[in-house]
Structure 1
Amino acid sequence: MGTDMHGFIECRWDRWLDEDDREWFRAIDLSHLYNGRDYVAFGSLFGVRDTVSFRPLADHRGIPQDASREVLATLETWGDDRHGESWITWAELTAADGDEVSNEVDGCVHEFRRGSDGRWTMHGRNTDLTRFAELSGLTDPRQIYSAGSVFPENTEWPDGDRLFRVGRLRRKDVVPDSEWGAVWSVMRTLANLHGEEGVRLVVWFDG
């Protein structure tokens, strides 16, 4: 059974009040912005599923005591079918070191593409596995999907203006804009209005 993430982005609108009187409100349901299932991302952010690759930024903090009424009401409907509750502010996300390297080699092969400036940038993980299989000579689907456990770190397969490589992830690689961009965009916009400490992501998991 797989694990999925659920939650809300919250913000504090009443910024003219004293800190102790400010109230959190639901801004948007996370399901409108993200519906992926990336365990390395879940682990690097909240310590769920993948607890090895990175130190979690917000490990099982629980639901905030001052969570919005809408969030608390939604949680009531989940009962005991949830776990891994946590939260993280936009301030904490922006302060994280995106270039921090993972503790172990990624099981997926990484695809890099060369830009017009000649520099290589990461395009994705386990992308175009048909072409990778041709270059690597692998035929077993299990090995193709977990090439990082088959080949030594830094093994490379050049392919014109792209390159396949076995290696370690950077923290920012596990939450790419292609999957998380909508979440970061909404949080960034709200933070511009209400401050970086006035916007947070509240989550829980099932499965």
Structure 2
Amino acid sequence: MGCDIHLHVEKRVDGKWTQIIGINEPEIKYLENTIADIKARGEKADYWERLLEEEKNGTSGFIYDGRHYLLFALLAGVRNQYEITPISEPKCMPNDVSSEIKSISEEWGCDGHSHTWLTAKELTEFDWSQTVVQEGWVSENQYQVFMERGRPESWSGGVGGGRVRHVSNTEMNRILKEKYPWEENDSFYTLVKWALPYSEIVGSFYSWSVPKMKELAGNDLESARIVFWFDN
């Protein structure tokens, strides 16, 4: 069963935490580009246009609304198959949470878990340059990319089929250099590992969400926070 995050944004105003409504600018851009591509093909984009209008109306979950297990592990140690140290273990729902977010949380009841919160200070001061090892099965072409750049452009968690052969890196090097005639109808895959910084893996959460939280906080990085929990 999949795990999802329910993330909301608050700002402390006159000593009281207040729910903040906003729009996710990267998501707006993505939807606009998607609509343009669909219309360029002469197709209708009604569904995507409705999504765009909903996004433009804003939500309290605008900082992040997706499914990324490494990010979940980093934020609260949830789905931590990577065995990494999170920014913080779950702290429970803050006692002074805004009434709107408290009400949403209560609607989830026992289906919600790992309630917690992080300030803009915690998000910005975290060391996002730390790395985590990735691994995956790559084809001959992607193995060449891996050898040239230190990482593949695409990979798979597993590959199967009648003509698929799993080989060592050493054997893949030999195949790339000189494939034997009787191997030409086979597809070869080898397992590779490479390290990437957290900042790159979590994408727009680092490049947009964290700076946005810093912007909301202004001169007091503890005056803005995300309040969130998970369900699965």
Query: CA 1:59–1:201 in 2, change beyond 3 Å: closer, same or farther?
Result: same
Q: Which AA in structure 2 matches 1:187?
A: M
CA–CA distance in structure 2, aligned partners of residues 169 and 43 of structure 1: 15
- Percentage of identical aligned residues: 29
CA–CA distance in structure 2, aligned partners of residues 204 and 46 of structure 1: 9
Match of 2:213? Answer: 187
Q: Which AA in structure 1 matches 2:134?
A: D
Shift, 1:58, TM fit: 1.8
Q: What's the CA shift string for 1:122-168, capped at 9, x where partnerless?
A: 8xxx8544xx9xxxxx9538xxxxx9xx978xxx9xxxxxxxx7312
**Structure 1: runs of 5 or more not aligned:** 15-21, 112-119, 133-137, 142-146, 157-164
Q: Which has the larger radius of gyration?
A: 2
Match of 1:24? Answer: 17
Q: Secondary structure at the match of 1:168?
A: strand
Q: Give the alignment of 1:157-196 within 5 angstroms.
A: 166-177=193-204, 181-192=207-218, 195-196=220-221
Selected match of 1:89 from 92, 100, 119 = 119
Match of 2:28? Answer: none
Match of 2:183? Answer: none
**Would you tell me which structure has more helix in proportion to its own residues?**
2
Q: Does 2:160 correspond to 1:140? A: yes
CA–CA distance in structure 1, aligned partners of residues 168 and 97 of structure 2: 46
Task: Give TM-score, length-normalised by structure 2.
Answer: 0.59
Q: Secondary structure at the match of 2:100?
A: helix
Shift, 1:3, TM fit: 0.3
Q: What's the CA shift string for 1:72-99, capped at 9, x where partnerless?
A: 1111111111011111001011111121
Match of 1:204? Answer: 229
Q: Let me know the Cα RMSD of the aligned residues.
A: 3.7
Shift, 1:174, TM fit: 3.1
Q: Does 2:135 correspond to 1:107? A: yes
Task: Give TM-score, length-normalised by structure 1.
Answer: 0.65
CA–CA distance in structure 2, aligned partners of residues 94 and 121 of structure 1: 28
Q: Which AA in structure 1 matches 2:226?
A: L
Q: Give the alignment of 1:1-80 within 5 angstroms.
A: 1-14=1-14, 22-28=15-21, 29=59, 31-80=61-110
Q: Give the alignment of 1:113-124 within 5 angstroms.
A: none
Q: Secondary structure at the match of 1:67?
A: coil
CA–CA distance in structure 2, aligned partners of residues 186 and 67 of structure 1: 20
Match of 1:17? Answer: none
The number of residue pairs the alignment matches comes to 165
Query: CA 1:88–1:166 in 2, change beyond 3 Å: closer, same or farther?
Result: same
Shift, 1:37, TM fit: 1.0
